[in-house]
Chains A and B, each alone.
Chain A
Amino acid sequence: MIVETGHFALVLAFALALVQSVVPLVGARTGEARLMAAGGPVAIAGFALTALAFAALTAAYVQSDFSVANVWQNSHSLKPMLYKVTGTWGNHEGSMLLWVVILAFFGALVAVFGRNLPATLRANVLAVQGWIGAAFLLFVLATSNPFVRLEPAPFEGRDLNPILQDIGLAIHPPLLYLGYVGFSISFSFAVAALIEGRIDAAWARWVRPWTLAAWVFLTGGIAMGSYWAYYELGWGGFWFWDPVENASFMPWLAGTALLHSAIVMEKRSALKIWTILLAILTFSLSLLGTFLVRSGVLTSVHAFATDPTRGVFILGILVVFIGGSLALFALRAGSLTAGGLFHPISREGALVLNNLFLTTATATVLVGTLYPLVVEAISGDKISVGAPFFNLTFGPLMLPLLLLIPFGPLLAWKRGDVFAVAQRLMAAFGGALLAVLATLLLVDGASVFAALGIGIAVWMVLGALTDLAQKSALGAVPLGVAARRFAGLPRSVFGTALAHMGMGLSVLGIVATVAFEVEHITVMKPGETTEIAGRTLRFEGVAPVQGPNFTETQARFVLMQGGVSRGALISSKRIYTARQMPTTEAGILTRGLSQLYVSLGDETGDGGMVVRIWWKPLVTLIWLGGAVMMAGGAVSLTDRRLRVGAPSRRTRPSAVPSGAKA
């Protein structure tokens, strides 16, 4: 009953999505207010129905209802409850359903919070959302239906891929999808503006919070995915320039550019056409990512099942939406009016520069990701474009951008003074120089490059702090006044500073880990000790452990420093019974911001064990920086200026402010 109700709800949601894609659009073209008004309730009902379908599938997983083929293929009755729930989206069909649910969720948010948008804009946005929703619902129903049933039902499932049986599955995909799909709103706004042939003044004010929200989620999703790969795969790496990683990184880069160009558009009504193009490109890259990951073109832990019809279907969606929106752009861009003027050296100019660097970097990653696929499709040769390519191309592009970041927020709008800003940044520059020297003098074997990298990271962090200090006039006015000014700064100023500081912290973590990490591979027997990075690691012994759906060999280690225990860690190897699949569970011990990472290899036969040990200095900053960036985005979302008043609400002062709620 529950399963079939979910299935029916999904089909009904598809019907509603079709209505949503036509009726408001016709309303907007003919000026018929009632047709336009239908978009909102339909979007909300569509979200309720997809959410119901998703809940039904989750219930089937929780109850181990193996009469559902999807549950049988990806679940097991002995799996812990958390993984039964998360297993709902730990497979192709379920994850596409999650994609659709989140899409419908954003559509409903526009319907709820968009009451004070101009009616035609709102109708067109909802219609475009309806197109995307209808296309993906059809994809789910036609090629990836999670509600296909089995008769007779098996009594046991085939279990979830053990690598996915982790808390990471609970966080990474939902966050990433909230980011990917969140960009669909900016896309819908862009296409709606193109359909109307005019950009309302409210447009940018509306697009920016959505972009910001999507960006916050995508940042979190990428950071979480990176940390998950780091601790689960047992290689100790945090980023591999893997095509699947790039697939999520490209929308992030383009989205970051969009975020900044939307600021210019919002504040100065400039860069309109460019912002529209970026909004289209960002979501196109999200779709491309979905295609690369879901079509089975790439083999990875994300490619749950390969089925050519699915690939062709998503490719079709991709071509229609990207091609269609770009064609519309080519047709209409000329008729859009350009806005405010500015000098090259100004806040606007700095943001344009940021956009140039970010879009070029996106193009670089795109080339590096697609080139092997194109080569394979044409000549059949398998080549791999890895870290060397990206280090040579992406690195040099990022370097000037990172150096320039502290300048941007300090420049004035319309016309800025670089020398004045440079003067104000002297303290930050001094601090960065000091960090370079300290690294060279204090760390053994530090290369000049590593020291400069540390310097850049410190420069960014101090630059962000300088911005806050300058804006609260610290040092120029009495301390109490400065404190009051500090507290009175707009939230978006804090958001900017936090985001830029987070970026600096991530860079610091990356440079420190890459330059100063120590790796040590050795054979250890119980009771033996080994030295790593001035610390002693003692192998206590192994013990077999029976998990709910796996058997495990746990090895216990104790970290000693100066004869004192500094904590213990357990590294283990598991065999999951149902799939007879082995996994390694790295043991990680966090000391301050650094981590000790122990991964087990094979047994040597004489009671010894191959042990790979890494000391990773400041490695946690990579992800903490991501968290700080997210916090920056979240703080900026609460800024007062994102709450645009609506004309009709004037008479009702108690009305809920819009936008900021998103």
Chain B
Amino acid sequence: MLEVNNLHVHLDTPAGLVKAVDGVSFRLEAGQTIGIVGESGSGKSVLAHSLTKLNPEPPATYPKGEILFEGENILTMDKKRLRNLRGKEIAMIFQDPMSSLNPVFKIGRQLMEAIQTHQKFSKKEAHQKAIELLIDVGISDPERRMQDYPHQFSGGMRQRVLIAIALAARPKLLIADEPTTALDVTIQAQIIELLKSIQKKYGTSIIMITHDLGVVANLADRILVMYAGKIVESGSTADIFYKTAMPYTWSLLRSIPRLDAGGTERLLHIEGHPPNLIHPPKGCNFHPRCPFARDACLQTDPPLSEHGTNHSAACILSKPEFDKEKQAVAERKGVLLS
């Protein structure tokens, strides 16, 4: 359904050219959920916004690559076609529900705008549909809440409203850009459950952008790990968690507390900072922070290579080499091996 081929997105900033997305390729099948994981500044949000060309231009440019949605290249679409795509075929929800609703319009108006943009509904029909959508996302007393303004809703409730807005035209693909980051943990879980139930009910494909592997663990079919504008590992959720093939992913997983470890494990601290994307390091982008780095890592920037069925990673270490080294690093750092 969605095919991204060798996508490059550059941001032309006063400080220099930022290669925010640097040659990303992936596929998404209908009904599938993909999780895109990475830390702040890894380019995951820019990538997500690229999928409906929502990055402000300037500074964003798309020098190379294509985004094919059902065979059509989004990057070369005219404005009108793009507008028809946004909301109708591909909908988005964003990180901060507190600021993503227009503060001066009633919820009902914002919801009905989403409904009427793509569907020829009368005001009355749109009103009815809006109520149904609010019920769908679990907002009680929807008739009355339609008359309320965003500031009268809590963060979790606003995110539900935003999900309702995103679902207004029954899109085929829902892109969720860190939808739970700004919310309390209990609310996070509710929103994840809501997204799951929506997918089950409507068969919507979901791309879930997050910095939190825990969020995608029980939601995504596949996970893409991004680092410095590139995908450094991609595979099924099980492969990513249990057959990790890339030091960055491995380090990320070791930096999350685990309930099954009995509270004795140490957490891995990934040293240093994400690289400066205006002047990225030579060789592999991750080598300055990588506990497995060797001299060769300064020379070559390894491409994604197959590590199993539908599982690839960008590392010069072969699987046996990596497995061997893992043990040594885990011992040295005092973290869990698996």
Q: A and B: real partners?
A: no
